[in-house]
Structure 1
Amino acid sequence: MFKKKALITDIDNTLFDWFTMWHRSFSVMIENVSKISEVSTEELYRAAKLLHQKYGTAEYAFLLEELDPLLKIYGNKATLLEKIDPAIKAFRSERKKTMRLYPHVLETLKQIKDRGMLALAFSESKAYYSSYRIAQLGLDGIIDIVYCPKDHDLPEDQSSTQLLKVTQRHVLDGAFKKPSREILLKILADSKLNPEEVLYVGDSKSKDIKMAIDAGVDYVWFEYGSTHLNARKEDYDLLKKVTHWSDDEVEAERVLAADGGKMEIPASRIIHEYSQILNFLE
């Protein structure tokens, strides 16, 4: 085995449980908005999906102030935000409770840095949200560079560049989805790394692991992070209701996931705790 010079880690459902955070905070928010406004949750879901598709993300931070059913009731942004403030506070409270690193993530990344290795992150979440997560999870400066897609349009008083003080952020131009062999190889080239000098860790077989294999990069599959949808069909149904994907994209994602489910990952390449990454760096 070649000496590893860098770890590339996925973020969502690899460093922390993104799905639980999203589902609980979004659900609480919409339920509170529905009670305050007397607009049904189903109508709010339909309006949310339109905005999510407009901005290309299912976690648009400025969603409520642009929802048509609410603007029709309250007339303007200022009044709207004042009336639904309890829902916003409920969202933030639930997000704070559920945005937690998986066990041993911080200690493992610190040990990787102590070995003189680079710690890189690669996410499909847009720059604003990826940056926010790294900052809130206490990883600013622990992660050396985060790679992520460019932002949607942000309000003038908001900027994702304000969120990180030490971690560098490399925004990838154009729309992309994992698995992208070309982008992974670009990440390696930026740091003058050869594929055999890198270890990649992610939760998705069909995206992270396939991408690493296609690029000739050593990998470990963080199976624990892939279990977030097990026995949670109803929770996942909510994500499908408000997804930013088109029907064609949903079908493509289903096919990709089905193909990934057929992938045979050697038992020696499966980890259940993040700290087990260190076993592959000896």
Structure 2
Amino acid sequence: MLQYETLITDFDNTLYDWVDVWSTSFLAMLGEMEPIAQVPRDELLRAIRSVHQKHGTSEYAFLLQEIGANRLFPDEEREKALHYAALGYQRGRASSLKLYPGVREALLKLRSKGIPIIIYTESLEIYTNGRIIDLDLDGIIDVVYSPPNHDLQAQQNEQISLLGEGRRSLKATKHRYLPAGVTKPNPEVLRDIIAEIGANPATTMYVGDSPMKDVAMAQEVGVLDVLARYGQAQHRPEYEILRMVSHWPDVDVEKERHNLQRPVEASVIIDSFEEVVRYFT
């Protein structure tokens, strides 16, 4: 078996359960908002989706600030309700954010072998770096590639920020920006990452949970594609509410549903992240 020398991995739903973190946080927030909202649930969800699409992310830190500006809540209750909604979101995130079983052990084994570990994610820097810190991966991951942030300087009310804190910086892991607006699958971006870190595509492994975004991209670039089957969440009930409020365009949602019926065939399928270790010297 060919031994590999570089690991590039997706982050969300590959190293940790992003859908669980998102849904736990979002539903806790929604539970605080619904009782006092002046509009039906469907209209509230449409307003949320509009904000997500405007900013190109389904976890926009200042969602509550923009929702509040839409006058969906009574004036006398608005600030209090949004503050509690933010606290609900933060508690949900804190209770659900954890690595998949075996991930930390596998990453540490790879580091002990001197294997470069690279994250390539679509999540914006402020969310990605915060999770790397909270998951105690700063220094275990060598480099993380993610898109730049929103214009956070334009935001004012930290009391109803979903983050609960400002931007946090990594101490050991290096952060490098992807071009703004670029999404997966993008073979050219993956090729650029491989070239920048000085890796050989023939001995590089790419791991991700999405046949459409990860596997097909890795195959086009010519690296070993590995499907993290344990991270696939499209059939879980909570994924449907994500589709309802996501920043994804409708065409992408339908494309994903279509691809679920005719998935790309992965070269390697794993049911635990630990399985990647045996491919490295």
Query: Do these two structures clear the TM 0.5 threshold for a shared fold by scoring above it?
Result: yes
Contact conserved, 1:32 with 1:87, CA < 8 A, in 2? yes
Residue of structure 2 equivalent to 1:54: 54
Residue of structure 2 equivalent to 1:33: 33
Q: Deviations over 1:7-61 (max 9, x none)?
A: 1111010001111111121011012112244543323211111111110011101
Shift of 1:222: 1.3
Contact conserved, 1:132 with 1:160, CA < 8 A, in 2? no
Report the residue type matching 2:91 in the other structure.
S
Contact conserved, 1:65 with 1:80, CA < 8 A, in 2? no
Q: State the alpha-carbon separation in 2 of the partners of residues 163 and 39 from structure 1.
A: 39
> Given the alignment, which residue of 97, 100, 107 partners 1:99?
97
Matched, 1:275 2:274: yes
Residues 96 and 90 of structure 1, relative CA distance in 2, 3 Å threshold = same
Correspondences of 1:105-254 after superposition (within 5 Å):
105-155=103-153, 162-226=168-232, 228-230=233-235, 232-233=236-237, 235-254=238-257
Residues 163 and 256 of structure 1, relative CA distance in 2, 3 Å threshold = farther
Report the residue type matching 2:92 in the other structure.
E
Q: State the alpha-carbon separation in 1 of the partners of residues 169 and 95 from structure 2.
A: 20
Residue of structure 2 equivalent to 1:18: 18
Higher relative contact order (CA 8 A, sep 6+): 2
Q: State the alpha-carbon separation in 2 of the partners of residues 264 and 244 from structure 1.
A: 27
Contact conserved, 2:218 with 2:225, CA < 8 A, in 1? yes
Q: CA RMSD in A?
A: 2.3
Correspondences of 1:63-74 after superposition (within 5 Å):
63-67=63-67, 68-70=69-71, 73-74=74-75
User: Secondary structure in 1 aligned to 2:94?
Assistant: helix
Residues 160 and 91 of structure 1, relative CA distance in 2, 3 Å threshold = closer
Q: State the alpha-carbon separation in 2 of the partners of residues 220 and 280 from structure 1.
A: 11
Q: What is the TM-score with the length of structure 2 in the denominator?
A: 0.88
Residues 220 and 187 of structure 1, relative CA distance in 2, 3 Å threshold = same
Shift of 1:3: 4.3
Which stretch has the larger CA shift, 202-211 or 55-64? 202-211
Shift of 1:107: 1.2
Contact conserved, 2:33 with 2:81, CA < 8 A, in 1? no
Q: Deviations over 1:78-132 (max 9, x none)?
A: x844443222211111111111100011111111111111110011111221112
Report the residue type matching 1:276 in the other structure.
E
Question: Percent of pairs identical after alignment?
Answer: 37
Report the residue type matching 1:16 in the other structure.
Y
Report the residue type matching 1:208 in the other structure.
D
Shift of 1:72: 6.3
Q: Which runs of 5+ in 1 are unaligned?
A: none
Contact conserved, 2:33 with 2:82, CA < 8 A, in 1? yes
User: Secondary structure in 2 aligned to 1:47?
Assistant: helix
Q: State the alpha-carbon separation in 2 of the partners of residues 161 and 148 from structure 1.
A: 14
Report the residue type matching 1:202 in the other structure.
G
Q: State the alpha-carbon separation in 1 of the partners of residues 146 and 189 from structure 2.
A: 10
Report the residue type matching 2:239 in the other structure.
Y
Q: What is the TM-score with the length of structure 1 in the denominator?
A: 0.87
